[in-house]
A and B are shown apart, each in its own frame.
Chain A
């Protein structure tokens, strides 16, 4: 069974039932899992390998995908699939051979309607993942603003 932050606190068989809703996808090195702006139907749990999450940035007049975050086995990516308007806000690429479990939104919704306790635990886990990332990016943003202030007042 894949150990993942999304299923923390769920009993073994409950976690297995959630993972059984998904399908395994093997990504070759350099393959793209999803692209910024694509419709988001699934969230993904990384089973093996790594995913690079990037955003486009203009570097010397050329658009480049710049790394924003890296995700490792056990972590979840693509929670845009659970949040309207269900569009990916980043691009995910595998820098090496990577395996993910794709969990479709509709299947999750139906499952959690049948097993509300599991839905509650997963929702809390998801809130925790999103909250941590929000705090992380707040801190990173404030550090950049601080540098900008120092440069302007130098």
Chain B
């Protein structure tokens, strides 16, 4: 299975720039030659107030409040670098709910 970078495209995240963020990620993933990584839209992670949100799966890294300035570090993580700890701020119970949904194949 291909690895995915799911970028929330619900209204709140969009209003905070998630469309532009997704485009940026797509371009940078391609430029970096990360062929096993696919950037995909996601309907909603339920953490709208913290958006824009993105989840790397199956790594299960959830980055919140992501700005285009953060993309460098996220691309590094995708390429095998360290997790971007400062963007990891979501409540564990919500993470568990969403990860279970992803584990059961809800994309």
Asked if chains A and B come from one complex, the reply is no
> Chain A interface (Cβ within 8 Å of chain B)?
none
